[in-house]
């Protein structure tokens, strides 16, 4: 049984969340709180498996509550946001920095036609997060490896899911000003958060980040986040196309589509990176990129919130390198100047 603590300053929203979660098989609401102070106290007393957290609350807001909970009694936290207001979206990504795992939209009310699907999305997220490890151990995984032979690098393609925003921040923070390669990123997010993540990621990492545009040129020194509801194809040449195509692995955009839709001419000149996340999105396609001459990198187990996507890449022998985030950033920073890179490797 997954034990859930519901935190929201609105009594009607608390009642809605308690109704949805309490009616779901395998879930039990063990408490509720209307502010961060009570949320912290109940987290320490009840030790729930998952906390759903509002951000705009009196006495102590959700960001500070998350920060203190993760210090005193680390718990899986799902941020439930009810607004696409810029201020709340920014606060949502600060909450991810503080230790929350994922963002989800607040379910629609019972009378809404969208209620059933939005309620199912919340339940799916809570169930999935209950399986995530709370405490991460950042270990030294350096081991000698042969030098990596590369082409004239032209592109970096990155896929990430649960736990990805802060990892992407750490990777981009390692890149120097004027880094000449474009980076194209697929990050699994709940609808409505992509533009806010681009703004947050740029501010948090100090590296320029923007939403990819259809038929837009991919310029060096920038990272491009693929917008929600579109699949991305890269090339020919330094161009991005955004397509209306079905989800893959339940995701749109998906990492699998991105990796597969890199133009054949670009593949030997691509560094493909697969970061923390559930499932297998991108792993098979990463193996194909490796076979076609790309440099392929997976995040290591110790630093991953969820080792599903990178773990599957390792299992398939799709990843040439397995590194923690700062080492991924340092390696990418060296690609333009050094096509022959000695770096640590972990089986």
209-230 confidence digits (pLDDT tens)? 999 999 989 999 999 999 999 9
Q: What is the pLDDT of residue 84?
A: 66
Query: If we measure between CA atoms, which residue out of 333, 307, 306 comes closest to residue 319?
Result: 307
**With 60 as the cut, is the pLDDT of residue 143 above it?**
no
If you search the block for the tokens 């929350």, which residue do you land on? 100
Q: Is 281 a catalytic residue?
A: yes
Determine the 3-state secondary structure of 331 from DSSP.
helix
The model's confidence at residue 140, banded by pLDDT at 50, 70 and 90, is very low
pLDDT digits (tens, 9 = 90+) for 30-63: 999 999 999 999 999 999 999 999 998 999 999 9
Q: Describe the chain by its helix, strand, coil percentages, rounded to 5.
A: 35, 20, 45
CA dihedral 68→72→73→79, nearest 10 degrees, is: 10
Residues 218 and 239: beta-carbon distance below 8 Å? yes
**With 60 as the cut, is the pLDDT of residue 290 above it?**
yes
pTM over 0.85: no
The model's confidence at residue 338, banded by pLDDT at 50, 70 and 90, is low
The model's confidence at residue 24, banded by pLDDT at 50, 70 and 90, is very high
The model's confidence at residue 85, banded by pLDDT at 50, 70 and 90, is low
Determine the 3-state secondary structure of 89 from DSSP.
helix
Catalytic residue among 81, 281, 303, 304: 281
**With 80 as the cut, is the pLDDT of residue 21 above it?**
yes
- Residues 108-126, mean pLDDT to the nearest whole number: 93
Lowest mean pLDDT among 192-206, 257-271, 331-345: 331-345
Lowest mean pLDDT among 10-19, 104-113, 246-255, 278-287: 104-113
Residues 326 and 138: beta-carbon distance below 8 Å? no
- Residues 253-280, mean pLDDT to the nearest whole number: 96
Kindly list the structural domains of the chain, giving each domain's residue range(s) and its CATH number in brackets, ordered by start.
Answer: 2-129 (3.40.50.2300), 148-341 (3.40.50.180)
The model's confidence at residue 137, banded by pLDDT at 50, 70 and 90, is very low
Catalytic residue among 49, 188, 254, 256: 188
Catalytic residue among 161, 205, 256, 303: 161
The model's confidence at residue 136, banded by pLDDT at 50, 70 and 90, is very low
Query: If we measure between CA atoms, which residue out of 239, 72, 229, 73 comes closest to residue 155?
Result: 239
Facing residues of 296 across strands? 272
Q: Is 188 a catalytic residue?
A: yes
Q: Is 19 a catalytic residue?
A: no
Q: What is the pLDDT of residue 245?
A: 95
């Amino acid at each position: 049984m997954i034990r859930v603590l519901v935190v929201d300053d609105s009594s009607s929203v608390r009642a809605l969340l308690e109704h949805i979660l309490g009616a779901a098989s395998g879930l039990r609401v063990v408490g509720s709180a209307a502010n961060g102070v009570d949320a912290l106290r109940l987290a320490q007393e009840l030790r729930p498996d998952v906390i759903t957290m509002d951000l705009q609350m009196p006495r102590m807001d959700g960001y500070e509550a998350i920060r203190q909970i993760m210090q005193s009694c680390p718990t899986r936290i799902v941020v439930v946001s009810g607004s696409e207001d810029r201020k709340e979206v920014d606060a949502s990504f600060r909450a991810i920095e503080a230790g929350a795992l994922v963002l989800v939209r607040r379910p629609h009310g019972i009378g809404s036609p969208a209620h059933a699907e939005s309620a199912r999305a919340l339940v799916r997220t809570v169930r999935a997060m209950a399986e995530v490890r709370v405490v991460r151990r950042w270990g030294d995984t350096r081991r000698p490896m042969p030098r990596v032979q590369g082409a004239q690098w032209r592109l970096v393609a990155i896929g990430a899911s649960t736990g990805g925003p802060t990892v992407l921040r750490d990777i981009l923070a390692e890149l120097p000003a004027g880094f000449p390669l474009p980076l194209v990123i697929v990050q699994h997010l709940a609808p409505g958060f992509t533009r806010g993540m681009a703004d947050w990621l740029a501010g948090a990492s100090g590296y320029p980040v923007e939403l990819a545009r259809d038929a837009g040129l991919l310029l060096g020194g920038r990272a491009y986040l693929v917008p929600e509801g579109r699949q991305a194809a890269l090339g020919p040449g330094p161009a991005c196309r955004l397509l209306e195509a079905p989800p893959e692995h339940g995701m749109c955009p998906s990492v699998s589509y991105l990796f597969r839709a890199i133009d054949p001419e670009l593949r030997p000149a691509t560094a493909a990176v697969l970061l923390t996340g559930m499932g297998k999105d991108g792993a098979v396609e990463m193996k194909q990129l490796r076979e076609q001459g790309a440099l392929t990198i997976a995040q290591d187990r110790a630093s991953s919130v969820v080792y599903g996507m990178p773990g599957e890449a390792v299992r398939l022998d799709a990843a040439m390198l397995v590194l923690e985030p700062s080492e991924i950033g340092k390696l990418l920073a060296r690609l333009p100047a050094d096509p022959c890179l000695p770096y640590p490797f972990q089986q």
